[in-house]
A = this chain, B = another copy of it.
Amino acid sequence: MAVYTEVTEEDLDAFLAAYDLGAVLSLKGIAEGVENSNYLLRTEKGTFILTLYEKRVNEADLPFFLNLMDHLAARGLTCPQPIRAKNGEALGRMAGRPAAMVSFLEGMSVRRPSVQHCGEVGAGLARLHLAGADFPMRRANSLSLSGWAPLFDGAKARADEITPGLAAFITDELAALAKVWPQSLPQGVIHADLFPDNVFFLDKHLSGLIDFYFACTDALAYDAAICLNAWCFEPDASFNVTKGQAFLAGYQSVRALDAQEIAALPVLARGAALRFLLTRLVDWLNVPVGALVRPKDPMEYVKKLRFHQHVKSAADYGLLA
């Protein structure tokens, strides 16, 4: 939740002069999105989300994200659609920052996903993978295997402040994953951050996917492994195999996982847990003075990672043979 950059009426008027959206009716900073400043904008032409991209987003990546949303929306996926200025550009600048507007999506994220929600998100993720299959741009996943060690280097010395032995635990896991990380799985556009915050539902059915600012090109099954972590554990960090089964069945109702992907699922799930453990660890150790966001607890992902380390096969996640 965040509004890092305050927008003045002069900023907004100057920005909107390039668009054809009529007069402004209201602008509300919204508590959505951890990385950027987000506003709900109402004009005579409709309701939009206005995003100011803060420094953690690499400006060179923005065309990938905006074009991807256009591409997915054109293929029928319900996701925010970039609003283009009169000159055709989707990306502008406001208050010294890159800025863009996207269409507003109805729907509510769920805080406590049910089995049915997990099934819906499985199918939604697979639809995203199919819709992205012919997207021509590529973006490397900076938060995959090769990115984890440098990320950990900055936090290693203080990791044991979180729990004794954490530095050694992560060091061992990094070494183990480096040996077994799969390199030849089917690749494509992945969302890479499809947590419950980023999925909207209306009347228990999935109504839209948002926040494509971690999207990249990587193994499709890794995206599924991220969702197993994000959707199928209970608040006490126990894995709910009924939710895992619903998620995987939902996914496979749209796109079948191949034998290689199924075999890789436990390793991918370990990697996904480690990825969120590492970013949470870094955030936890680096809360800026005056921070507006409470960091999330890294220990949640230590527990999830320990679970995945003991998984024998995808059947333990509820995959039906």
Contact = CB atoms under 8 A, between A and B. Distances in A.
Contacts of A31: 3, 28-31
A27 to B, nearest CB: 5
Nearest to A292: B292
A285 to B, nearest CB: 15
A6 B31 CA distance: 11
A248 to B, nearest CB: 24
A311 interface: no
Interface in A1-41: 1, 3, 6, 8-10, 12, 23-32, 40
Interface stretch (A83-91, A103-111, A140-148, A228-236): A103-111
A112 interface: yes
A8 B42 contact: no
A112 B9 CA distance: 8
Size bracket of the A interface: 20 to 34
Given A1-B3, A290-B294, A294-B290, A26 B107 contact: yes
A30 B27 contact: no
Nearest to A42: B106
Residue of A25, A104, A200, A294 with most partner-chain B CB within 10 A? A25
A29 B30 contact: yes
A24 B108 contact: yes
B106 A25 contact: yes
Interface in A255-292: 290, 292
Contacts of A24: 108
A203 interface: yes
Nearest to A112: B8
B40 A203 contact: no
Contacts of A108: 9, 12, 24, 26-27
A137 interface: no
Given A1-B3, A3-B1, A28 B9 contact: no
A260 to B, nearest CB: 37
A138 to B, nearest CB: 33
Q: With a 10 A CB-CB cut-off, give which of A110, A111, A203 has the most chain B CB atoms.
A: A111
Interface string A150-167: 000000000000000000
Nearest to A12: B108
Given A30-B28, A31-B30, A6 B40 contact: no
Given A31-B31, A40-B40, A26 B106 contact: yes
Counting from the closest, the 10 A-B pairs by CB-CB distance are A29-B31, A25-B106, A3-B31, A28-B30, A8-B111, A26-B106, A27-B108, A290-B294, A30-B30, A9-B110
Given A23-B203, A24-B108, 13 more contacts: A1-B29, A6-B111, A9-B110, A9-B111, A23-B202, A25-B107, A26-B104, A26-B200, A28-B31, A28-B32, A30-B40, A31-B31, A40-B40
18 contacts: A1-B29, A1-B292, A3-B31, A6-B111, A8-B111, A12-B108, A23-B202, A25-B107, A26-B106, A26-B108, A28-B28, A28-B31, A28-B40, A29-B31, A30-B30, A30-B31, A290-B294, A292-B293
